[in-house]
Amino acid sequence: MANTDEQVVSEGEVQVVAFKLRNEEYGFSILNVQEIKGLTDITRVPFAPEFIKGVINLRGSVLPVIDLKRRLGLEDTPYTANTRIVIVQFDEVSVGMLVDAVTEVRTIDANDIDSTRAVTGSDANARFISGIGKVDGRLIIQLNISEIIGLTGEE
């Protein structure tokens, strides 16, 4: 939790890696992002949770890839040339996140990040979101990595 709370609570600025899922813009704290990779072959894993797209080979290690749109309950879109896998690290677990496109690395003033409650209310997916950043009139939805990875075991 500490890692994700940081981006909301800490004073000053937060750096996020912003990316697109359909028309919406989302972000992970840059501290959690290990690298960004082009789309490679993803091997399906039988019996894996539905939101796990499969596994990839990252320099010899096998890494699970989460289909972020499916995880957040968004409609599926086909792969494009812009499709990327964002490798994030949390609690020593590395996971790939399948996103439609990576837009930029953005610095957001902590004051410009709103708490989520006002927007999402009691939405079931609220736990995935840790805050909403406003930059130049755009909204970047901050994601809570630990909830998305789901190691807390509520799945």
Partner 1 sequence: METNQYMEMFLDESREHLQSLNDGLLSLENDPEDLSVLNEIFRNAHTLKGMSATMGYTKTAELTHDMENLLDMLRKEQLKVSSEIIDVIFKCVDTLQEMVENIGSGESEDLVDVSDLVRQVNAIAKGESPSVEAPAEAAAPAAAAPAGGGPAFELSETDRTVMKEAKNSGLVPFIVHVEISENCLLKSARSYMVMNALDDIGDVIKSVPPAEDLEQEKFDHSFEVAVVTDSDAKAVESAVGAISEISKVVVTEITDLDAPVVGGGAVPAPAEAAPAAPAAPPAAKAEPHKKDAKAADPKKDAKKAHVGGQSVRVDIEKLDTLMNLVGELVTNKVRLEQIGMTHRLTELTETLEQMDRVTTDLQSVVMKVRMVPVSQVFNRFPRMVRDLAKELDKDINLTIEGEDTELDRTVIDEIGDPLMHLLRNSLDHGVEHPDEREAKGKPRTGEVGLIARHEGNNVVIMVTDDGSGINADKIRNKAVEKGMVTRDEADALPDADAVRLIFLPGFSTAETITDVSGRGVGMDVVRSKIESLGGHVDVETKIDEGSVFKIKLPLTLAIIQAMLVKVQNEMYAIPLGSIDSTINITPNDIKTVQNKEVIVLRGQIIPIARLGEVLSVPKGEDSGEEDIFVVVVHVGDHKIGIVVDNLIGQQEIVIKTLGKLLSGLKMLAGATVLGDGHVAMILDVSALM
Binding site for partner 1 (CB under 8 A): 41, 43-48, 52, 54-57, 59-64, 93-95, 149-151
Contact 144, 129 (CB under 8 A): yes
Residue (12 or 59) nearer to partner 1, CB: 59
Nearest CA to 81 out of 43, 38, 41, 25 is that of 38
**Length in residues, the chain:** 155
In the complex, what is the shortest distance from the CB of residue 97 to partner 1, in angstroms, rounded to a whole number?
Answer: 12
Task: Please tell me what DSSP assigns to residue 14.
Answer: E
Cα–Cα distances (Å) from 48 to 65, 91, 103, 111, 155, in that order, read 11, 21, 29, 39, 12
Contact 4, 89 (CB under 8 A): no
In the complex, what is the shortest distance from the CB of residue 54 to partner 1, in angstroms, rounded to a whole number?
Answer: 8
In the complex, what is the shortest distance from the CB of residue 92 to partner 1, in angstroms, rounded to a whole number?
Answer: 8
In the complex, what is the shortest distance from the CB of residue 50 to partner 1, in angstroms, rounded to a whole number?
Answer: 12
Which amino acid, residue 61?
S
Residue (14 or 148) nearer to partner 1, CB: 148
Which amino acid, residue 127?
R
SS3 category, 3: helix
In the complex, what is the shortest distance from the CB of residue 152 to partner 1, in angstroms, rounded to a whole number?
Answer: 12
